Structure 1
Amino acid sequence: MTLDRTTQSTPDPQPHKGARDAHDDRKPAEFVEALAKGLAVLEAFDSGHPEMSLSEIARRIGSSPAAARRSLITLSALGYVGQRNKKFHLRPKIMTLGSAFYFSARIDEVLQPFLRDLVTKFGDASSVATLEQRDVIYIAHNSVQRARRAAATVGARYPAYATSLGRVLLAGQSDTALDRYFDGLVIEPLTSKTITDPEALRAEIELIRQDGYSTTVDQLDYGITALAVPVRSLDGRTIAALNTSGYTGMVDPAALIEHRLPDLRIMASSIAQSLAKYPVLEGIIGS
């Protein structure tokens, strides 16, 4: 298992994304604010913040210490959060939430065989991801790689702008949805090669729409060169993205396009056909 990029994280200049999502202006009338804050607390922990004090958590989620404390008391009573030396941490029970999705959606049965086939043929790594707010979430992954670089493990979440998967997913959005994505977007330079100019990024997404694939080199982390294509439902919607990646220096975009793109597109079509046989899974991924 490789190292998550959040090990290189820096102090948050603004509230953690969980807090921002919880305060969306489009909340339904019966939205439960307390539940949203509790989930934001859980999302605040990552490999860069494995333990935090009450004040740190409150700052991360953009909440008052009193509100954060109420959430922590509840989560502790339920067994999801523990405390040591005035610092809070997640407990193993939290894994039941993610595993419930993984097994109920039959990820291992439906998606993993395709990824194993790609990795068997090309080596390196292959993943399937979906779009969530401004990030991509990896829902399936297979790899022969053991390098210490940004992890593509199941459940990993990264900015969409910095990944081949994310850019393909953004290219599949409507112009209106894409406008919403760019509205207020803060692009952090994750490497010296990360595209940080919104206009340049949007131009790149337009090219991806035309080409039907995305390539990235060292955008998310150094050493990652990747190629991604959309996974489309039978009605033509982009519901997920599939990629293949290798080490920068050992592969380049031209080589990936020449040697892997045809197979990647065939595999994406096969995944789409397989998903169509599992309406529940297709609905979960495409929602």
Structure 2
Amino acid sequence: MAEDREKPAEFVEALAKGIAILECFDAANPEMTLSEVARRVGLSPAAARRSLMTLETLGYVGRKDKRFHLRPKLLALGSAFYFTARVDEILQEDLRALVDQFGDASSIGTLDGENVIYVAHLSVQRARRAAAVPGARYPAYATSMGRVLLAGLSDGELESYLETYEPKPLTAKTCTDRGALRQEILKARQEGYATTVDQLDYGITALAVPIRDGDGTTIAALNTSGYTGIVTPQQLVTERLPALRQAASHIALQLTRYPTLRLVLSG
């Protein structure tokens, strides 16, 4: 996993602290005081203040009434990735084809530590549910894409993940038992796909398949999802799995033509 890598001698702690501060803001914590930021990131108030002052000076963080918030300038960092990797040009075509064929929603994600991070997404859905916008991060164990990506890890990496990460219930149906979760991941490895129902949020039934590079390494995942109660996992497998696998193969072929995107997906 990414967090397990040894820090090189050139590692800049100050930069890492600043990035950690940016990442600690989320939908539940859009505005925070200095002490709240320090507590969330695990820094002393003095260290958090230095990073916040730097980020504020650079325009990435704003402040009002002693509460800090992110500023739109951060979008420039995300758009730089989006355009240099040519996400819209290369990935959206296949997502659009899937959504045109089946409706609902389709996404592409990759593994980022213990989370799946969404790289591309397209949806015709309007109901309130967990956002799957590019850049959104969710626990891998609770998503179909995350389970496919975990299935692509080596045996040692998977066991390390299961031994060190503690799954938390996000709904009453979330699988948090390590043994049961291991079986689901191994099943996804054997079958080449994963399905989930109401694991991340109520109302989400999803199917995901791996996107593999030329040597068979899983570097990303592709999913299709619908509303629980309207579609079932078996329906997704029967009606959408062939098209999903065909799209994943096409994306994998595209990655051979656009090495920059392959590099950013594989980390």
TM-score normalised by the shorter chain: which range applies? Answer: over 0.9
Percent identity at matched positions? Answer: 66
Q: State the secondary structure of the residue aligned to 2:264.
A: helix
- 1:24 Cα shift? 5.6
Residues 1:257 and 2:237 are matched in the alignment: yes
- Alignment counterpart, residue 181 of structure 2, candidates 201, 204, 210: 201
CA deviation string 1:197-232 (max 9, x = no partner):
011101111111111000000000000000000000
Matched residues in 2 for 1:66 and 1:198: separation? 39
Amino acid at match of 1:83: R
Name 2:94's counterpart in structure 1: 114
- Structure 2, gaps ≥5 residues long: none
- 1:280 Cα shift? 1.4
Matched residues in 2 for 1:202 and 1:276: separation? 32
Matched residues in 2 for 1:250 and 1:156: separation? 25
Computed over aligned residues only, the root mean square deviation of the Cα atoms, in angstroms, reads 1.3
Name 1:140's counterpart in structure 2: 120
Q: CA 1:284/1:22 → structure 2, altered by over 3 Å: closer, same or farther?
A: closer
Matched residues in 2 for 1:136 and 1:203: separation? 19
Matched residues in 2 for 1:153 and 1:232: separation? 22
Contact 2:2/2:112 (CA < 8 Å) preserved in 1?
A: no
Matched residues in 2 for 1:230 and 1:24: separation? 23
Q: CA 1:164/1:25 → structure 2, altered by over 3 Å: closer, same or farther?
A: closer
Name 1:277's counterpart in structure 2: 257
Contact 1:22/1:33 (CA < 8 Å) preserved in 2?
A: no
Q: State the secondary structure of the residue aligned to 1:260.
A: helix
Residues 1:222 and 2:202 are matched in the alignment: yes
Name 1:75's counterpart in structure 2: 55
Residues 1:53 and 2:40 are matched in the alignment: no
Residues 1:246 and 2:210 are matched in the alignment: no
Matched residues in 1 for 2:233 and 2:4: separation? 38
Matched residues in 2 for 1:150 and 1:222: separation? 9
Matched residues in 2 for 1:25 and 1:65: separation? 27
Contact 2:94/2:247 (CA < 8 Å) preserved in 1?
A: yes
Amino acid at match of 1:174: S
Which portions of structure 1, spanning 4 or more consecutive aligned residues, are displaced by more than 2 angstroms? 21-25
Q: If the length of structure 1 is used for normalisation, what is the TM-score?
A: 0.91
Matched residues in 2 for 1:22 and 1:199: separation? 23
Residues 1:64 and 2:44 are matched in the alignment: yes
- 1:49 Cα shift? 0.4
Q: CA 1:210/1:23 → structure 2, altered by over 3 Å: closer, same or farther?
A: closer
- 1:284 Cα shift? 1.2
Contact 1:168/1:214 (CA < 8 Å) preserved in 2?
A: yes
Contact 1:22/1:36 (CA < 8 Å) preserved in 2?
A: no
Q: If the length of structure 2 is used for normalisation, what is the TM-score?
A: 0.98
Task: Report matched runs for 1:143-154 at 5 Å.
Answer: 143-154=123-134
Amino acid at match of 2:106: S
Aligned length: 267
Matched residues in 1 for 2:249 and 2:3: separation? 37
Q: CA 1:25/1:214 → structure 2, altered by over 3 Å: closer, same or farther?
A: closer
